[in-house]
Amino acid sequence: MADDDADDVRERVRRAVAHSLAARVQQIELLSAGLGLRRFARVRLEPGGPAPTLVARVEAPEDPAGRPAGIAAEPPLEPIRALLEREGLPVPRRFGADEGVELLEDLGDVSLAAEAPRLPAAERSALYAEACALVPRLQRVADPGGVAAFSRQLDAAQLAYKGDLFATHGLSARGREPSVAERACVRDAFARIARIALSAPQRLAHRDFQSANLHVRETPQGRRLAMIDLQGAWLAPPEYDLLCLLRDSYVELSEAEITQHFEATRRELPDRPDPDVAALRFALLGVARKGKDYARFLDVAARRGDRRSLSFLPTTLRHLRASARAAAARDAAFGALAELVASLPEPVCAP
């Protein structure tokens, strides 16, 4: 982050703390950001504040290439955060807000993405079981009215965008532009994914339910997970959040672990989908999600020079290939797409 940008973030945070909490800032530590342009800072307050530290979530202008025409921007964090808090789901408390700065509970620095690789297998499995158990709870949250998440959906336009991103930036990883026929293959496959996805029950989904957005915090009951990055919540097929978690680009689970957690959770979902139907949707959502992730990592590296995510390309490609193979095995219409995915080269991903 440029010095001027960092100074602007700090000043916005100071104003927000003063205006909404009537408290004074002792220290502001800028935190590492993800691929989005939103910024975060840990704020240490002088004694007398509502907590020793909190996290400031600072909105920024959108990346103009990050959202296509016709697809609405993400709504604010409120009121979806407040709704999930009322429903007893583990989300950060909110202390206040002011002019695009949300002041939230400090959940610490330990994400599931950071913790999982260093845990013994049994402990990691227990944390993933806890994470998976949040999905049925989310899906049982009813629309109270006035919450934007219930009017947003993983729809045909969103899936077409993901397909176009994959065709444009993903297939180009082969060292040449995709042909007209290859683009048509991707477009037709993603349109079929959309038809199947939209015929499924539509349930509340976090939308980015992956290990980086699940924080491990110490509680009187032991270590527990809490969800962050909630503003993108929408309606999607029942398998969507499970796909985001179990085929995560940041923590690679074995196929046996994926199957175990998926099947155990499927039986607890409100719709309890048929095993074969759920497996097909899981595969198709994997094609869409991991195809988008693969393409976006490449696009951001080329366009912004941000190469941090290139180290996650191998895991992303393995998940994409597994999803494409599973989709083709269950529906022959995806055979041509699976062949295109198989043609992608092994990533050269040194950051």
- pLDDT of 92 above 50: yes
Instruction: Give the mean model confidence (pLDDT) for residues 159-179.
Output: 97
- In three-state secondary structure terms, 302 is helix
The predicted pLDDT at position 350 comes to 46
The predicted pLDDT at position 220 comes to 81
Q: What is the rounded distance in angstroms from the CA atom of residue 5 to the CA atom of residue 2? A: 5
Encode 25-37: b = buried (16+ Cβ within 10 Å), e = exposed: beebebeeeebee
Percentage of the chain modeled with pLDDT above 70: 94
Cα–Cα nearest to 149, from 270, 91, 236, 90: 236
Convert the pLDDT of each residue in 114-160 to its tens digit: 999 999 999 999 999 999 999 999 999 999 999 999 999 999 999 99
Q: What is the rounded distance in angstroms from the CA atom of residue 291 to the CA atom of residue 346? A: 14
User: What's the pTM value of the predicted model, to 2 decimals?
Assistant: 0.94
Cα–Cα nearest to 191, from 163, 153, 154, 152: 163
Q: At what angle do helices 275-304 and 255-266 cross, to 10 degrees?
A: 120
Calculate the CA dihedral of residues 125, 128, 133, 137 and round it to 10 degrees: 170
- pLDDT of 268 above 70: yes
DSSP 8-state symbol, 220: T
The predicted pLDDT at position 351 comes to 44
- In three-state secondary structure terms, 76 is coil
- In three-state secondary structure terms, 23 is coil
Mean pLDDT of the chain: 94
Cα–Cα nearest to 153, from 224, 216, 232: 232
Instruction: Give the mean model confidence (pLDDT) for residues 309-335.
Output: 97
- pLDDT of 349 above 80: no
Amino acid at 143: D
**Cβ contacts of 278 within 8 Å, gap of 6 or more:** 238, 239, 262, 266
Longest dimension (CA), the chain: 65
Convert the pLDDT of each residue in 14-32 to its tens digit: 999 999 999 999 999 999 8
Convert the pLDDT of each residue in 42-78 to its tens digit: 999 999 999 999 999 999 876 555 566 667 788 999 9
Go through the domains of the chain in sequence order and give each one's CATH number.
Answer: 3-105 (3.30.200), 112-342 (3.90.1200.10)
Phi, psi of 41 (to 5 degrees): -145, 140
The band of 311, judged by pLDDT with boundaries at 50, 70 and 90, is very high
Convert the pLDDT of each residue in 193-234 to its tens digit: 999 999 999 999 999 999 999 999 988 878 899 999 999 999
The predicted pLDDT at position 69 comes to 63
CB-count exposure of residue 133 (10 Å: 0-12, 13-18, 19+): middle
